[in-house]
Structure 1
Amino acid sequence: MENQSNFIKTIMEDDIKTGKHDEIITRFPPEPNGFLHIGHARAIVTNFELAKVFGGKTNLRYDDTNPSKEDEVYVKGIIEDVRWLGYEPAGIYWASDYFEEMYQRAIILIKKGLAYVDDQSAEEIAKTRGDVVTPGIPSPYRNRTVDENLELFAQMREGKFKEGEKVLRAKIDMASPNMNMRDPVLYRINFASHHNTGDTWKVYPMYDFAHPIEDAIEGITHSLCSLEFEDHRPLYDWVVRETEMPHTPRQIEFGRLGIVNTVMSKRLLKYLVDSNYVDGWDDPRMPTLSGLRRKGYTKEAIRAFILATGLAKVNSEVEVDMLESFVRDDLQARAGRAFAVINPLKVTITNYPEGKIEYFDVPFHPENTGLGSRKIAFSKHVYIEQEDFSEVKPDNKYKRLSLGGEVRLFHTYFIKATDVVKDENGKIVEVLATYDEKTLSGSGFNERKPDGTIHFVEATTAIPATFNFFGPLLDADTNKTIDERYNPNSLSQKQGFIEGGLKDVKTDEKFQFVRNGYFNCYANKKTNNPYEFNEIVPLKSSYK
């Protein structure tokens, strides 16, 4: 972001230049009620990168004001995702760290006549708020005395009322054209046990009250949030001003980043998990950062994607192909090349000695020498892809093996198909072929050209492997329910082989399986399979 311009960066530059701020301090404030997804990546990258440009810092602050929806597993997942993206917060804080100060700031409002305890139900409050053309109806409890409000609020804290029986509301303007200023609720009663404070508190602040106070306490200079909070900004400023906070942060909104046909709602993502449509929050079909990580996406690719989409004050949506193109570009430089046969067809080379195995030293990457080399095995028995053989050559443009045709096996010899073996149903189960020992790759033999070059794995050293392929998790028709949109064919598995040289492959090691695509090793603990590979992206993209 150092070499990019955007409207928030310009604001920060002016604030430093005019001396309004000596240091830029931002924050990323997730609610621990789910795992982070690709949409959150824009907020993370934006906050950390902008602060870094000015030598500032970014806090991670958990918005843990709703204990009934929060879980420790989400707390751990969030910091893991932030660190995986390559960022270390200057400090890790909790909204619950400030519960006492928030409570005391609410008392300031009550004493100033700017907050009151309301006995109306949530339904009644919603019904009397009015709409954009109709002013709201003041609560019958709006004019309670300061002493009465202080006493009732203290009793709310002590747990003397039932959940939903009373709330604390701000007293602002029931006729305001901004619906957020029509006496918003500041505190509600909640008896759920809190992961951080246990059963100490019986009242919890609402986000619109808690968030500006948290920012002010931490000295946040620029409170960056998504566009949906633009109408909340007057309330944000009102809370900071009227609670008499010594520090005044500035809220700035930017557009959300969406991906076509991708759910970005934590509520819906949680539903998919709870309904067992997916294998947890880190299922590779999920748009969560943990799911993308398990699929094989790299943090470098995600950061580059976020930065390339820019930062504007409008919501935007891009095709998933654009994200995949950044992943592919990153993997092109870092992923080692190797052979895997996903739809195996056995080939027996009849004129090659039985039991003999040759090994050929081949670099893992044609340009990245730091990845080292590997040894490819060759013998009488090999596997090729079923798609790489046709009994009858379709046309002269066909670049694969056919009866009477000749191809090179990558880095080794020419082979010529001479016959096939079929089962009782007429399906080809084996190809018989001969090899020419004078055609070893790199030997300078150029008397004839093969029909093409195909990959293979040597059969006796080949390692059985599982390959996972992922399609869209949901149907694109948003008029359907989430259950109707679920695509039961979004995951498919194939059983094939990887070359024997990959026997020591590690989890999260990434490869370009030649002519098949980019894959990430996923050691599946549930099936105890160390040789499971998730397709990250295919080799080519339609993104323009």
Structure 2
Amino acid sequence: MKKDNYKQTNFIKHIIEKDLKNKLISVIKTRFPPEPNGYLHIGHAKSICLNFGLATEYDGTCNLRFDDTNPMKENIEYINSIKNDIKWLGFKWNNDVKFSSMYFDKIYKYAIELINNGLAYVDLLNQEEIRKYRGTLKKPGINSPYRNQSIEKNLLLFKQMKNGFFSTGEACLRAKINMCSPFIIMRDPVLYRIIFYEHHQTKNTWCIYPTYDFAHCISDALEGITHSICTLEFQDNRRLYDWILNKINIKYRAYQYEYSRLNIEYTILSKRKLNILVKKNIVTGWDDPRMPTISGLRRRGYTPSSIRTFCDKIGVTKQDNLIEMSLLESCIKNDLNTNAPRAMAILDPIKIRITNLPTNYLEILMVPNHPNQPNMGYRSVYFTNELYIDRSDFYEQETIEHNGLILGKEIRLRYSYIIKAQKIKKDKYKNIVEIQCIYDKETLGKHPKNRKVKGVIHWLSTKNTRPAIFNLYDKLFNIKNPEKEINFLQHINTESLIIKKGFVELNLLTTNISNVYQFERIGYFCFDKQINNTIATFNRIISLNINKTKKK
């Protein structure tokens, strides 16, 4: 990864530079610590770019560590998808992949240490009772009746928990801190709980598992992480993070820093809620192109560089805000405008017949693959007496806003001739099935003076097409901030996917130029390799007119 991708300064960089200058550290060590309980989304991409980007910029290292402390919600599929996403974004983690479960033996010993120091106890209250005893923001908590039992009894009970003497929910290990703390996280938080479920790494070795808060800070310290960076919802958790590391005998002391999480218009960035969309079949899976997951964006046609650019543009601050979708769209549009070859496609075909051409007429025209990139070369398209244009480009009557082929008027075919519509044919339902036109053979590459031509439209010869399916994707929600809605499913955009059947150029995908194209005058599309149809399927990445996409 090029260092110049991350030139924008932020408060975390200031902290790192100060720590390096004061020789508090010699090399920075960051980590990206996902829980393997779902696919990564673009909010995680921000964290990936930040943690790996900082390590690159300051010649440090970044670990990939799975915080795998809840086997009931985790699996290998999520682990593999996360690794693929990081690689696709262009980053490489330090040495081998790490797991919090690698440290379970050590974490267990630190729990024993806390018990021996009178700083942890086994609680036999059930979950509902613990919740009730914890109090509220306005009401202090109440000490558990098991809080002051002897160290010896706590050691025995904890050993029994480890050996499977208790059922799930019958017992847990809690830190002994302060049940009257104004911070609920410090009111004797749970450190270990019982889960009888096979772990993807440790199998059935354990039936007790440390909580995320307990395992996370210890894992950071064991790995020598210098800057443990997380989002603002963990700001209060830092108090527990510091308390744990201050109370155990561990050689290295890690420090946590928080920044604002990513929020984007018309999108939810919660793995729990995204999982609901998958489970309820509202989307076709975690990689559905309407999903804000990295795999969904990849299948939609977004590029790694566009996502990295977006993450760099939004910056790193402590202020929560709602990012406009147009910023993300502009990043991919700028990328594709330079790099995507052009082609022509017809999404809603209507036939044109050139009446002053013979039936067997065939002319080959050479057209550029990109108007501003000569190195992309040229391709051949056929001009014949039967063509397709998009139905939306024809109007029987002229109006001010129309800019297409109008009965009795002339239009230019892209890279080709001027034609004039003379007559239309309709079926019994009064739908137009054919437009009869004449062409002017003197207008190839020429612009006759004193002739008003309404505009330019794209087209395809019927002898130079292959059938195609076009998935027109739009935003998944019809309100700006669905994250704030309790019943967020009520705000699903029912037109987030519109499917069209039409045609693309015959040689598309056989020239190995690209899997991403700008279909001229329509938008940017990518070939969906994951759909095993006999007919080629293209996903719309973005319309050429972003505002037009939003209005649909």
- CA deviations 1:450-481 (Å, max 9, x no partner) are 32211101111211111111233234265462
Task: Work out the CA distance in 2 between the residues paired with 1:193 and 1:94.
Answer: 16
| 1:489 lines up with 2:495 in the alignment | yes
Q: Tell me the amino acid that sits aligned with residue 37 of structure 1.
A: H
| 1:499 lines up with 2:502 in the alignment | no
Q: CA deviation at 1:508?
A: 7.5
Q: Tell me the amino acid that sits aligned with residue 314 of structure 2.
A: T
- Given that 1:364 and 1:374 are in contact with CA atoms closer than 8 Å, whether structure 2 keeps it comes out as yes
Task: Work out the CA distance in 2 between the residues paired with 1:373 and 1:195.
Answer: 52
Q: Mapping of 1:8-407 within 5 angstroms?
A: 8-91=12-95, 92-395=97-400, 398-407=402-411
Q: Tell me the amino acid that sits aligned with residue 66 of structure 2.
A: Y
Q: Tell me the amino acid that sits aligned with residue 5 of structure 1.
A: T
Q: Tell me the amino acid that sits aligned with residue 527 of structure 2.
A: C
Task: Work out the CA distance in 1 between the residues paired with 2:467 and 2:69.
Answer: 49
Structure 1 residues 524 and 187 mapped into 2: Cα distance closer, same or farther (>3 Å)?
A: closer
Q: CA deviation at 1:83?
A: 1.0
Q: Secondary structure at the match of 1:128?
A: helix
Q: Secondary structure at the match of 2:467?
A: strand
Task: Work out the CA distance in 2 between the residues paired with 1:447 and 1:382.
Answer: 27
Matched residue count: 540
Structure 1 residues 393 and 189 mapped into 2: Cα distance closer, same or farther (>3 Å)?
A: same
Match of 2:477 among 467, 474, 481: 474
- Given that 1:36 and 1:288 are in contact with CA atoms closer than 8 Å, whether structure 2 keeps it comes out as yes
> Percent identity of the aligned residues?
46
Match of 2:521 among 491, 498, 515: 515
Structure 1 residues 268 and 106 mapped into 2: Cα distance closer, same or farther (>3 Å)?
A: same
Match of 1:527 among 524, 533, 538: 533
Structure 1 residues 454 and 306 mapped into 2: Cα distance closer, same or farther (>3 Å)?
A: same
Q: Secondary structure at the match of 1:418?
A: strand
Name 2:465's counterpart in structure 1.
462
Q: CA deviation at 1:202?
A: 0.8
Task: Work out the CA distance in 2 between the residues paired with 1:135 and 1:422.
Answer: 78
Q: Mapping of 1:424-439 within 5 angstroms?
A: 424-439=428-443
- Given that 1:506 and 1:521 are in contact with CA atoms closer than 8 Å, whether structure 2 keeps it comes out as no
- Given that 1:463 and 1:503 are in contact with CA atoms closer than 8 Å, whether structure 2 keeps it comes out as no
Q: Tell me the amino acid that sits aligned with residue 208 of structure 1.
A: D
TM normalised by structure 2 equals 0.94
Name 1:6's counterpart in structure 2.
10
Q: CA deviation at 1:205?
A: 0.1
Q: Tell me the amino acid that sits aligned with residue 469 of structure 1.
A: L
- Given that 1:505 and 1:521 are in contact with CA atoms closer than 8 Å, whether structure 2 keeps it comes out as no
Task: Work out the CA distance in 2 between the residues paired with 1:513 and 1:77.
Answer: 30
- Given that 1:227 and 1:314 are in contact with CA atoms closer than 8 Å, whether structure 2 keeps it comes out as no
Q: CA deviation at 1:139?
A: 1.3
- CA deviations 1:482-511 (Å, max 9, x no partner) are 443333332110111111231527797111
Q: CA deviation at 1:4?
A: 1.5
Q: Tell me the amino acid that sits aligned with residue 411 of structure 2.
A: V
- Given that 1:190 and 1:202 are in contact with CA atoms closer than 8 Å, whether structure 2 keeps it comes out as yes
Q: CA deviation at 1:24?
A: 0.7
- Given that 1:524 and 1:532 are in contact with CA atoms closer than 8 Å, whether structure 2 keeps it comes out as no
Task: Work out the CA distance in 2 between the residues paired with 1:457 and 1:222.
Answer: 57
Q: Secondary structure at the match of 1:328?
A: helix
Q: Secondary structure at the match of 1:257?
A: coil
Task: Work out the CA distance in 2 between the residues paired with 1:192 and 1:46.
Answer: 34
Cα RMSD after superposing both structures: 1.8
- Given that 2:193 and 2:208 are in contact with CA atoms closer than 8 Å, whether structure 1 keeps it comes out as yes
TM normalised by structure 1 equals 0.96
Q: CA deviation at 1:172?
A: 1.3
Task: Work out the CA distance in 2 between the residues paired with 1:72 and 1:528.
Answer: 31
Q: Secondary structure at the match of 2:250?
A: coil
Task: Work out the CA distance in 1 between the residues paired with 2:83 and 2:166.
Answer: 36
Task: Work out the CA distance in 2 between the residues paired with 1:2 and 1:267.
Answer: 30
Task: Work out the CA distance in 1 between the residues paired with 2:513 and 2:265.
Answer: 30
- Given that 1:294 and 1:508 are in contact with CA atoms closer than 8 Å, whether structure 2 keeps it comes out as no
- CA deviations 1:137-187 (Å, max 9, x no partner) are 111111222222112111111111111111111111222222111111100
- Given that 1:296 and 1:508 are in contact with CA atoms closer than 8 Å, whether structure 2 keeps it comes out as no
**Which 5+ residue runs of structure 2 have no aligned equivalent?**
none
Task: Work out the CA distance in 1 between the residues paired with 2:440 and 2:513.
Answer: 38
Q: Secondary structure at the match of 1:376?
A: strand
**Which 5+ residue runs of structure 1 have no aligned equivalent?**
none
Structure 1 residues 506 and 79 mapped into 2: Cα distance closer, same or farther (>3 Å)?
A: farther
Q: Secondary structure at the match of 1:42?
A: helix
Q: Tell me the amino acid that sits aligned with residue 451 of structure 1.
A: K
Q: Tell me the amino acid that sits aligned with residue 431 of structure 1.
A: I
Task: Work out the CA distance in 1 between the residues paired with 2:402 and 2:257.
Answer: 58
